[in-house]
Structure 1
Amino acid sequence: MSDFSSTLALSASGMKAQSMRLRHVSENIANADTPGYRRKMATFEEVVEGGEHTGKVGLGKLELDQTPLSEIYDPGNPLANADGYYDGSNVDMVVEIADAREAQRSYEANLKMFDQARQMSSSLLDLLRR
């Protein structure tokens, strides 16, 4: 039975990590037009409990994308410099949509693994009851 519960815990940690990744992607999309906004990138790391590797995954340190910010020409903007430019964001909508789709599919894969382990443990309990 512990194998089933560890499988459930592993897939649940994957679902949690992917949902946090999706949260960062949605923040990036929401701030795509915010001047000076840097894209947030989620990193993953293995969870270690009591000095032992558990196989679980968690969200690691949040990193900011260091690609240059786009320069937008708008002399009427109060943020514009003497030349009429101000710093936009470095969010690329194509990259964000691809990241969102990848996070969604990874979440769904973990959900299927969770559901499969749950069904297997339920079937095992039914067999043991007979």
Structure 2
Amino acid sequence: MISSVITTAFSGMAAQQQRLDGIASNIANADTPDYTRKRTDMVAAPGGGVKAVTREAAGGSGVDLATELVDMIGTKIAYEANVAVMETGMDMWDTLMSALEPKDRDERWR
């Protein structure tokens, strides 16, 4: 249970990193003629968690820097939320391991 929380949070962090990569590409190519804005959607990953799918936006839309800034702020907030979940999961794991007898602990906690 705790490990799935940590795994899910990690997948969320990786997905937000991919989303930020798409935003950076959009900003870098804002003045590139015929550039099509990249859009990143979050989808459920097989086995749990989330993954990012980046594709070109429909309609061959250009880049609006205000939209990219708003998306970047949302990405930052989502990434930080996943970090908080991961830290909480790790704290729960530490508490569980400290409550067990030494012989019952995971090998890496000895």
Q: TM-score range by the shorter chain?
A: 0.7 to 0.9
- The Cα shift of 1:65 comes to 3.9
Q: Which residue of 2 aligns with 1:46?
A: 44
Where structure 1 has 5 or more consecutive residues not aligned to the other structure, the ranges are: 49-53, 69-89
| Residue pair 1:45, 1:58 contacting (<8 A) in 2 also | yes
Which of 24, 46, 49 is equivalent to 1:56?
Answer: 49
**What TM-score results when the alignment is normalised by the length of structure 1?**
0.73
Displacement of 1:45 in angstroms is: 1.1
| Structure 1 contact 47–55 (Cα < 8 Å) conserved | yes
CA drift of 1:59 comes to 1.3
Q: Rg bigger for which structure? A: 1
Query: Going by fraction, where is helix more abundant, 1 or 2?
Result: 2
Alignment match of 2:74 (pick from 99, 102, 112): 102
Matches within 5 A, 1:10-21: 10-21=8-19
TM-score normalized by the length of structure 2: 0.85
Asked if the contact 1:40/1:65 (under 8 Å) is kept, the reply is no
**Structure that is richer in strand per residue:** 1
User: Which segments of structure 1 move beyond 2 Å, counting only runs of 4 or more?
Assistant: none
Q: Which residue number in structure 2 is paired with residue 121 of structure 1?
A: 93
| Number of residue pairs aligned between Structure 1 and Structure 2 | 102
- State the secondary structure of the residue aligned to 1:42: strand
